[in-house]
Structure 1
Amino acid sequence: MSLAVIACFFVLGFFGMPLAFSLGCAALFGLWLAGFDPSIMPSRMMNAVNSFPLMSIPLFMIAGELMLKGGIMDRLVDFANAFIGRVRGGLAQVSIIAGAGLASVSGAAVADASALSSTLVPSLKQQYGLGFSSGVVAAAANLGPIIPPSGAMIVYAFMAGSSVSVGGLFMAGVVPGLILFATLMVLCWFISWKRDYPLVGDGFNLRNALRETRRSVIVFMMPVVVIGGIVVGAFTPTEGAAIGVCYALIIGFFVTRKLKVSDLPGVLLTAAKTTAMVGAMIAFASTVTFLFTIDLLPIKLAGAIKEITDSPLVFLLLVALMMLIVGMFLESNAANIMLVPLFHPIALQFGIDPLHFGFLFVLNLVIGMLTPPVGVILFVVCGITGVKMTELVRESWPFIAAMYGVLFLCMLVPGVVTALPRAMGY
């Protein structure tokens, strides 16, 4: 039965059906195969989305959109420019810094890709050409779900249950996120040096750097306040997201003064669309997960994997390979919702730290957002910049390889992921 449900979902997705619709049809098909009354589906769906922690997803989205409308990009770019100076790939590195700064307030790769593509690519392509410029902003946008706050981590923690906390998963992403950030910076310099791109920008000026730091510190305080409050237990992730919305409103209206009342309906509509999609997938997936459970699929899958190997590292490599394939064909939120209930319990049976496995799982699927043929970031960047898909994919591969390098580092050295959250008491 479980295999038939999965096959139904992928077949509908292959023919271009919306993900939520595909999940809903697969759930109904599974109930019919199992002989259950379809009337149990609405109650399961309602119970799945009737969750206080899930409210943090739209609130973080609203906070991110408000910060973008409030002129955060201008502050981030000016701040990055002040510190980079006249070096090879300087503008590309500015884009990576802007992506990291944006990640610390939005937590969504798609929103970051849209903002970075529309604001930075026009300047970047004058120096590096459209292909490399688009590849850089795509890689920078992919920092969004890795550096906390992260919508993908919230979804994972919800689907994994009580063994994984949102705050702990946020902390698990800090050190790997910084390593990935530094790796992308070095990669931009190396490619620029290899291709002999021209030097751009002014030399480093301490006075200018201090001035931009003073201007930007209030922006960078938002993730410190929100994430710091979640980590120390001052408030829940949902309450922290609500505080982030209030903070963003104050910044936009009274500090940058670029946010207008007329911007609010569009911000709310954008957040509502994304939240509705994620909420619908979680609701339908609750029925699919129920069918997997009664069919004992997690137990059968765990037994099959243990027949192949009893090594936790080999299990992680097998999951990484599977996520590479899944990420090429399935949107990351859908993959989280479908696969976390299957693989998370197996990881616990192998004795793998739940935060370690959770971060690796999220990073795997985030990288999938850059891999064709269904790399959602690729489509967003192509749609905004006009670059050809083949050219963008060619320019993105070095960044994808760097991300996999960080993934394998985290896999082989668990302390990179777990040391900080354990030190914080998670």
Structure 2
Amino acid sequence: MELTSILTLFGSFAVLLILSVPISYSIAISTLLTICVSLLFESALMVVTQKMASGLDNFALLAIPFFILSGNIMNRGGIAIRLIELAKVLGARLPGSLFHCNVLANMMFGSISGSAVASSAAMGGIMAPLQKKEGYQPELSAAVNIASCPTGLLIPPSNTLIVYSLVSGGTSIFALFLAGYLPGILMGLGVMLVAGFIATRRKYPKSEKATCKQVLVKTIDAIPSLLLIVIVIGGIIAGIFTATEGSAIAVVYTLILSVFIYKELKLSELPRVILESAVTTAIVLLLIGASSGMSWAMANADVPYLIQDAFTYISDNPIIVLLTINIILLVVGTFMDMTPAVLIFTPIFLPIAVEMGLDPVHFGIMMTFNLCIGICTPPVGSALFVGCSVAKVGIDKVIKTMIPFFFVLFATLMLVTFIPNISLILPKLFLNY
């Protein structure tokens, strides 16, 4: 029965994906078919709906729609251009200064908005014409933008880390948020290193050195935007409010900033922004509900235990096991979006990692970093498609250009995987984790 259930689950899921059925429906249908192996259709349907509903019955999930809404408000409210102006003066004298500006802006805007796709669209849309004017190769500009936009999924606040906290059985969101800072910064620095090396070889221009007055003016102009990170993360760490309450505060703060201080978002535009946020939220929550049902179906078919036994059979060396998990997640990330991948594979791999002595916070950052690479790769890489679209270049040209960036991202992933303190030093320092 177990073998039949496993074949039904993964076989039907693969077939539905090949047929281009939306991933939420693919997950839900394959789960229903699997449960039908052991139960009548009516009973199976009831189990699936119950598991989907119970998977969404969690207070922490309220943070996701609020962070999505605050990100959309920021995207329309003039925050992106101010962060780019600040990044320009910070990276002015580096070789290929506009590349470094792009990376720094992605790190700042991505961390505030919590969305790699929004960051790729906003920063790429503004930076691509400037870089083209300065003689930068369009496909290289797109590659830098795409490779650096996922930094915001590690630097908090991050919806992916909230989902991981939920599915991992309550891993501290505070600890996960703090743990994401250094890996996210390392990812950005890795991209800057490659971009700087290429820019030096191609003799791309440096920007004019910014005066102290220019640095001061651009910093002051960007401070209200950057304060959001201080308010939300500082409040969570200090215990003033929870991550969910912090997400609501983020909405209020970005609304005041965009409408009344920067005055670039009109109140008449709010209904459209809220509607777009509601659609995005519905997509994410449908994925979470469907994946909760699939997780139950996998547990019912003893999939996690079978995979654990398989890993034990392959090797009991932690290095080999972690490399194997990373390779599997890298492959999964090329075919599956981050949210369903976290929901489906966390219950499978986390027990193996914990049994080897890995901290759940460290594993969560490792897994998120891994899947960040996936959204930059075909055939399902959302950041890749958006980045190519705003830069108006072909995916085939960008993929060739991105090869050195993939190497440095993988190297950084290995550092995060095998040096736990990169992730854990801040939680230990601020939370006595």
Question: TM-score when scaled to structure 2?
Answer: 0.95
Q: Secondary structure at the match of 2:209?
A: coil
1:21-420 alignment, distance < 5 Å: 21-35=25-39, 37=43, 38-126=45-133, 127-162=135-170, 164-197=171-204, 199-420=205-426
Q: CA deviation at 1:168?
A: 0.9
For the residues of structure 2 that align with 1:356 and 1:3, how far apart are their CA atoms?
Answer: 32
Change (3 A) 1:286 1:84: closer
What is the one-letter code of the residue matched to 2:146?
A: A
For the residues of structure 2 that align with 1:45 and 1:266, how far apart are their CA atoms?
Answer: 28
Partner of 1:11: 15
Question: TM-score when scaled to structure 1?
Answer: 0.96
What is the one-letter code of the residue matched to 1:29?
A: L
For the residues of structure 1 that align with 2:129 and 2:369, how far apart are their CA atoms?
Answer: 29
For the residues of structure 2 that align with 1:2 and 1:171, how far apart are their CA atoms?
Answer: 37
Tell me, which stretches of 5 or more residues in structure 1 are unaligned?
none
Deviation per residue, 1:195-231 (Å, 9 max, x gap): 222x142213111101111111111110111011112
Deviation per residue, 1:19-74 (Å, 9 max, x gap): 11101111110111122512222222111112111111111111111112110111
Does structure 1 retain, via aligned residues, the 8 Å contact 2:142–2:391? Answer: yes
For the residues of structure 2 that align with 1:85 and 1:357, how far apart are their CA atoms?
Answer: 36
Q: CA deviation at 1:269?
A: 2.0
Does structure 2 retain, via aligned residues, the 8 Å contact 1:84–1:204? Answer: no
Does structure 1 retain, via aligned residues, the 8 Å contact 2:107–2:152? Answer: yes
Does structure 2 retain, via aligned residues, the 8 Å contact 1:157–1:166? Answer: yes
Change (3 A) 1:145 1:352: same
For the residues of structure 2 that align with 1:339 and 1:3, how far apart are their CA atoms?
Answer: 17
Report which stretch shifted further, 37-46 or 164-173.
Answer: 37-46
Q: Secondary structure at the match of 2:95?
A: coil
Q: Secondary structure at the match of 1:62?
A: helix
Does structure 2 retain, via aligned residues, the 8 Å contact 1:30–1:288? Answer: no
For the residues of structure 2 that align with 1:89 and 1:263, how far apart are their CA atoms?
Answer: 37
Q: CA deviation at 1:383?
A: 2.5
What fraction of aligned residue pairs are identical, expressed as a percent?
33
For the residues of structure 1 that align with 2:253 and 2:304, how far apart are their CA atoms?
Answer: 42
Q: CA deviation at 1:6?
A: 1.8
Q: CA deviation at 1:166?
A: 1.4
For the residues of structure 1 that align with 2:290 and 2:425, how far apart are their CA atoms?
Answer: 36
Paired residues, number: 424
Q: CA RMSD in A?
A: 1.4
For the residues of structure 2 that align with 1:81 and 1:283, how far apart are their CA atoms?
Answer: 42
Report which stretch shifted further, 80-89 or 340-349.
Answer: 80-89
For the residues of structure 2 that align with 1:358 and 1:265, how far apart are their CA atoms?
Answer: 35
Q: CA deviation at 1:286?
A: 1.6
Does structure 2 retain, via aligned residues, the 8 Å contact 1:121–1:137? Answer: no
For the residues of structure 2 that align with 1:327 and 1:44, how far apart are their CA atoms?
Answer: 25
Deviation per residue, 1:78-137 (Å, 9 max, x gap): 111222224320111111111011022111111111112222111112221211111111
Q: CA deviation at 1:160?
A: 0.8
What is the one-letter code of the residue matched to 1:185?
A: M
Q: CA deviation at 1:390?
A: 0.6
Does structure 2 retain, via aligned residues, the 8 Å contact 1:76–1:101? Answer: yes
Report which stretch shifted further, 229-238 or 54-63.
Answer: 229-238
Q: CA deviation at 1:11?
A: 1.6
What is the one-letter code of the residue matched to 1:209?
A: V
Q: CA deviation at 1:359?
A: 0.6
Q: Secondary structure at the match of 1:144?
A: helix
Does structure 2 retain, via aligned residues, the 8 Å contact 1:2–1:291? Answer: no
For the residues of structure 2 that align with 1:271 and 1:254, how far apart are their CA atoms?
Answer: 21
Q: CA deviation at 1:18?
A: 0.3
Q: CA deviation at 1:321?
A: 0.5
